[in-house]
Amino acid sequence: MNLERRPDPDALLAQVEAEERRRAQGKLKIFLGYAAGVGKTYSMLEAAHSRKAEGVDVVIAVVETHGRAETEALLQGIERVPPKQIEYRGVRLTEMDLDAVLARKPQLALVDEHAHTNTPGSRHVKRWQDIEELLNAGIDVYTTLNIQHLESFRDIIGQITGVVQRETVPDRVLDEAAEIEVVDLPPEELLLRLREGKVYIPEQAVRAMENFFESGNLIALREITLRRAADRVDEQMRSYLKTYQTPELWPVSERILVCISGAPGSERLIRTARRLAEETKAEWFALYVETPGDDKLTRQNRERIWEQLRVAESLGAKEVTTLAAASPVEAVLDYARERQITRIVAGRPLRPRWREWMRGSFIDQLLRRGKKIDVLVVSNEEEEIKKTRKTLRPLGPPGWRGYLIASFLVALTTGLSMLFSHLLDPTNLVMLYLLAVVIAALRLGFGPAVFSAVLSVVSFDFFFVSPYFSFAVEDTQYLITFGGLMFVGMLISTLVSRARSQAEALKTREGQTNTLYALSRELAAAVDLNGISKTVIHHVRGSTKGEVALFLPEGESVRPGATSGSFELSEKEISVALWTCRNGKAAGLGTETLSSSSFLYLPLATGGKTLGVLGVKPQNGAAAFSPETRRLLEAYANQAALAIERVNLARKAEQTQILQATEKLERALLNSISHDLRTPLSSIMGTLSSLREDPSFIKAESQMELLDLALEEASWMNRFISNLLNMTRLEAGALRIKREPHEVQDLIGSVLTSLEPRLRSREVKIQIPSSLPLVNIDPVLIGQVIMNLLDNSLKYSPPVTPLEIEAAVSDSWIEIRLSDQGPGVPEEHRQRIFDKFFRLPGTEGVRGTGLGLAISKGIVEAHQGRIWVENLPVRGAKFILALPTK
Amino acid sequence: MNDENLGKNATRILVVDDELAIQRYLKNALGAQGYFVQVAGNGKEGMNAALALRPDLIILDLGLPDMEGLEVLRRLREWTQTPILILSVRDREDEKVRALDNGADDYVTKPFGIGELLARMRVALRKSAPSSPEPVFKAEGLEVDFEHRRVAAQGEEVQLTPTEYDLLRLLVTHAGKVLTHNQILRQLWGPAYVEQPHLLRVNISNLRRKIEPEPSRPRYILTELGVGYRFKIVT
């Protein structure tokens, strides 16, 4: 009984996500057939017509009729997007115009021949990639496909029919398609149609097709097709069940690992592994182990490895990994244990038999040491092994010099031996020769080592073996000596060579790691996008010695943020960068998309969002980057993406902080306004209402008093509102300052005039030298400042005490000093008194908002000036306002 | 009261302001002083009323709903020399200067006291009354003899440069009314010297030093920050 039917949350999430993606994406329907001529295009067109009748907006993006009249007839009635002409090697070819279809934005597009390869110069290498772009844009697509175009079937079908397809489509495309319709036709009928000439066969392929269209083949193909379609149903069923049932009900899943070696037959290995995984419903992994000698691999080999990794990924391996290790067997077994692999798929041994003799083959070691793991050996094609031989770099001085030195060594040894020949047994003299061989092996390389071994034996035989000074070998046991010397020589030189190349590989790797470390350290210190761009470009250029450009998104497009040199980026290059940014996938040189570009573009992406694009052009116009360099570049791109994200987040955090501060201020202001405006209003309303109530009741002088009070309150409110307004403008950075040269005297005079009534009872001493230079200020704002200061002095100092205003030049400042004889400002509050809403303790009785000085400070600082307060020796405060002389 | 005033051949004031409160207030306050007040709520109405009423003084608010106050001013000045006082808000000095340079006679900043408004109105109205300029101007401690070009401050004669004298005479002839920097510059130095306020500043400063008892607390020549200068009249 299934007591627990709790659905697996991860699987549920995956399904929901997949569904969501599917809904936003267009749906792909594949018309699948087992051979050319079964009628796929025809069925597709028929289906399109039904859709059109239902009201769906259908266009023909590209359809091949191959001259068949019945198919052509079906083309009528559906809008056709005109194809694009591309010129390639002097020939004009037509291809689907992808951009036109995207611009047209139909609901459904018909794209024939899923596996077609596009003409070089098109955006994508393969048509199935074009279709993916259409689907991503939300357009549904109908397409046609033959079974032999599927990547995983290429080999089997090649074996069956003798025709190997060059154009393939990755299996995942079929798996991800929303619908598959198998267009079936009994083989006999197909052959009939072939004979009637109704099946299209390109001229070149006629002979090959004869083999293809044999009844037996067709039957086999048909079976494969039908079975594959059935598999798909099975899989959909399985994934549905998986989300809604506990995994215990399922058989323990197998986990398969396939080892990629770079050998030409490995692709077959990979496909086998995949098929195996499908059949046993297992997950499968692909692993390549890089050994120290691998940097000497030929370019061809490296590209093959890269290609195989890519194939593994496209076929749907759960993980495709590259590890670096000295011992491949160790690395594979460690990985297998970590991932709980149950079965390893490996190829038949390639190395010459005698090597394996000594160390045991890769397979043997796997078997012996991987205890719980099955090993499945798959046969390979044997040709082309020769090409994979690694070329070891020679050690020691080049060419003949090594041999010369070797000869010299042997001669020296011979001389020495002669000296000691009466003291020592010949057996011991051999040791001296052995020493010579060892030295040669350590220092001179393989060739000279062998040479010195031979020469040593010859010398030894000649000089020290009877009959002396002759080459007759009476004692064949000296062959053993000979063998021994040779063996030692070769062994040591090989080991030395191996150790050196290992050390070098490690050094290279260390170099790369250091570069990455240096990059991440410098990126951590960068504070803005500019800094990041410069750092990244500097490092990438250092590593690749090529041209580098970093693109950042700007609106709908990208712009080159920084470049390594002053080179021009053509429109075309920028559009490739834009494509990379939009689609989050690598494009350009060495990729499958827009490969005619001279740059490789890598997206800088974190968490699914693309933050920029890194463009790199290899030095000397090389054709592509090696896999290691590519990996390094991707690591750089990752770092850069993280740094950019960090800068963006920091900026956002800053803005949030500013926003919070602004909100706090707004709240404080609202509080202040509400309280501080109500108070004078109540006086005014009180006065007015009492006068209105009974005008005759209040005496004339009292009336005047009340009215004066009300007027005063009203003036105060006016000033307060002005301050508030300036405060908010200042905070928002919207304070408009119109600076012009003004006289201080003018300024002060004007302020005093406006304060006239309140100053009547006071003595105001003014000391402003007539030679005082002009100050470059906004007169209204600085006037406000002086007004605020005077207002304070009037408020807080006793009514009959004098006020002093003086102005003077001090260094490069003009200082205006205002002194009163009030209580002064205590030391501890000298700074805080300029804070918003701060009031000196003990002054609550006096009307004030605590804004006057804050506003003044803001205005003064906006003029690049300073304002502060000092205490006078006897009593009182002195406020000093310093403005820069221009 | 308004209608009574009309009958008495009182001075006619046109108030162009969209705020009802101001309209009512001015009607009341000015009416109490014996003026006849007509109100208009927007620019178009204002211009039509000016044509129909032919007021002796126009009080024009710069913040009108349908047109720029400046535009109304310009259009009015195309056909009439009636004195115009503008109402403006605080911190809009540039607005005031532009209005004054475009033909307004004076300005009052909101919120304003009625005393200030009345004083400026009187000055503006006095100007429109044709009269021969008086030969001698007397203020508190200051005497200017136009005929003989002699100036005395606090009883003592002062020596002024020709420019300083012209400046003083200009201010005094327009006593009580504000003059913008540009207006003064244009009058004394010519239109090419507009936007060269330092010339003006130096002369004002020198003049103050010569005639003011306390140059730092000017009694006669008042600075209107950001706008211009005004010769104070003693009311």
Q: Which of A112-116, A256-260, A267-271, A775-779 is least confident?
A: A267-271
Calculate mean pLDDT across residues B78-96. Answer: 86
Query: Among residues A70, A74, A139, which one has the least CA distance to residue A103?
Result: A139
Asked whether the beta carbons of A875 and A825 are under 8 A apart, the reply is: no
Inform me whether the pLDDT recorded for A292 exceeds 70: no
Inform me whether the pLDDT recorded for A362 exceeds 50: yes
What pLDDT, on the 0 to 100 scale, is given for residue A621? 62
Strand order, beta sheet including B150-153: B136-139, B142-145, B150-153, B156-158
State whether B205 and A768 contact (CB < 8 Å). Answer: no
Calculate mean pLDDT across residues A89-111. Answer: 88
Inform me whether the pLDDT recorded for A831 exceeds 60: yes
Inform me whether the pLDDT recorded for B122 exceeds 80: yes
State whether A779 and B91 contact (CB < 8 Å). Answer: no
| A679-705: pLDDT as tens digits | 888 889 888 888 887 777 767 778 888
Nearest CA in chain A to B218: A749
What pLDDT, on the 0 to 100 scale, is given for residue A392? 46
Give the gap in angstroms from C-alpha B50 to the nearest C-alpha of chain A: 33
What stretches of A154-282 adopt beta strand conformation (E)? 179-182, 255-260
What pLDDT, on the 0 to 100 scale, is given for residue B13? 94
Q: Which of A349-353, B177-181, B185-189 is least confident?
A: A349-353
Asked whether the beta carbons of B57 and B124 are under 8 A apart, the reply is: yes
Asked whether the beta carbons of A847 and A679 are under 8 A apart, the reply is: yes
Q: How far apart are CA A260 and CA A290, in angstroms?
A: 10
Upstream peptide bond of B111 is cis (omega within 30 degrees of 0): yes
- A747 contact B CB<8A: yes
- A749 contact B CB<8A: yes
pLDDT band at A723 (very low <50, low <70, confident <90, very high): confident
Asked whether the beta carbons of A836 and A851 are under 8 A apart, the reply is: yes
State whether A764 and B209 contact (CB < 8 Å). Answer: no
Query: Among residues A736, A750, A725, which one has the least CA distance to residue A863?
Result: A736
State whether B91 and A748 contact (CB < 8 Å). Answer: no
Q: How far apart are CA A523 and CA A721, in angstroms?
A: 49
Which long-range CB contacts under 8 A does B45-48 form with residues at least 24 apart? B45/B16, B46/B14, B46/B16, B46/B72, B47/B72, B47/B75, B47/B76
Nearest to A722 among B90, B201, B214 (CB): B90
What pLDDT, on the 0 to 100 scale, is given for residue A399? 66
Query: Which amino acid would we find at residue B58?
Result: I
Size of interface A-B (CB pairs under 8 A): 61
**Which of A 784-813 lie inside 8 A of B, CB atoms?**
805
Other Cβ atoms within 10 Å of A76 Cβ, number? 9
**Residue partners of A798: CB distance under 8 A and separation at least 6:** A821, A822
B interface with A, Cβ–Cβ below 8 Å: 90-91, 93-94, 111, 113, 197-198, 201, 204-205, 208-209, 214-218, 222-226
Q: Which of A110-124, A144-158, A205-219 is least confident?
A: A205-219
Q: How far apart are CA B76 and CA B47, in angstroms?
A: 7
| A34-93: pLDDT as tens digits | 888 888 888 999 999 999 998 889 999 888 877 777 788 888 888 888 888 888 787 888
Q: How far apart are CA A820 and CA A818, in angstroms?
A: 7
Inform me whether the pLDDT recorded for A558 exceeds 60: yes
Q: How far apart are CA A186 and CA A373, in angstroms?
A: 44
Inform me whether the pLDDT recorded for B228 exceeds 50: yes
How far is residue B147 from each of residues A529, A793, B47, B135, B150, measured CA to CA in Å? 75, 47, 41, 6, 8
- Token pair for A372: 């719980």
What pLDDT, on the 0 to 100 scale, is given for residue A591? 74
| A470-513: pLDDT as tens digits | 666 566 676 787 788 778 877 887 787 778 778 887 887 788 78
Percent of chain A's residues with pLDDT above 90 = 6
Chain B residues lying within 8 Å of A740, measured CB to CB: 197
- Token pair for B192: 């090419």
Nearest to B111 among A718, A748, A768 (CB): A718
Angle value at C-alpha B208, between B207 and B210, nearest 5 degrees:
65
Inform me whether the pLDDT recorded for A294 exceeds 70: no
Query: Which amino acid would we find at residue B90?
Result: R
Strand order, beta sheet including A587-588: A557-563, A547-554, A609-617, A600-606, A587-588
In Å, the largest CA–CA distance within chain B is 55
Please give the backbone phi and psi of residue A150, each rounded to the nearest 5 degrees, phi first: -75, 135
Calculate mean pLDDT across residues B21-34. Answer: 90
What pLDDT, on the 0 to 100 scale, is given for residue A471? 65
Q: Which of A267-276, A493-502, A560-569, B137-146 is least confident?
A: A560-569
Three-class secondary structure assignment of A509-520:
HHHHHHHHHHHH
State whether B218 and A749 contact (CB < 8 Å). Answer: yes
What pLDDT, on the 0 to 100 scale, is given for residue A203? 59
Calculate mean pLDDT across residues A444-464. Answer: 78
Q: How far apart are CA A445 and CA B148, in angstroms?
A: 120
What pLDDT, on the 0 to 100 scale, is given for residue A275? 82
The pTM assigned to this predicted structure is 0.45
pLDDT band at A8 (very low <50, low <70, confident <90, very high): low
Give the gap in angstroms from C-alpha B4 to the nearest C-alpha of chain A: 26
Calculate mean pLDDT across residues A14-30. Answer: 76
What pLDDT, on the 0 to 100 scale, is given for residue B56? 92
- A101 contact B CB<8A: no
State whether A749 and B223 contact (CB < 8 Å). Answer: yes
Percent of chain A's residues with pLDDT above 70 = 85
Query: Among residues B105, B11, B6, B116, which one has the least CA distance to residue B56?
Result: B11
**Residue partners of A168: CB distance under 8 A and separation at least 6:** A115, A149, A150, A151, A154
Report chain A's mean pLDDT, rounded to a whole number: 80
Give the gap in angstroms from C-alpha B205 to the nearest C-alpha of chain A: 8
Nearest CA in chain A to B223: A750
Bridge pairing between strands A343-347 and A374-378: parallel
| ipTM exceeds 0.90 | no
Query: Which amino acid would we find at residue A154?
Result: R
B198 or A256: whose pLDDT is higher? A256
Chain A residues lying within 8 Å of B224, measured CB to CB: 750
Give the gap in angstroms from C-alpha A757 to the nearest C-alpha of chain B: 14
State whether B226 and A770 contact (CB < 8 Å). Answer: no
State whether B217 and A766 contact (CB < 8 Å). Answer: yes
Chain A residues lying within 8 Å of B233, measured CB to CB: none
Query: Which amino acid would we find at residue B86?
Result: I
N- to C-terminal Cα separation, chain B: 26
| A637-691: pLDDT as tens digits | 988 898 888 888 888 998 898 888 878 877 877 877 787 788 888 889 888 888 8
Radius of gyration of chain A (CA): 44
Neighbour-count burial of A126, counting CB atoms closer than 10 A to its CB (0-12 exposed, 13-18 middle, 19+ buried)? buried
pLDDT band at B229 (very low <50, low <70, confident <90, very high): very high
Q: Kindly give the residue spans of alpha helices, DSSP state H, lying in A616-699.
A: 627-693
Chain A residues lying within 8 Å of B222, measured CB to CB: 749-750, 753
Chain B residues lying within 8 Å of A770, measured CB to CB: 205, 209, 215
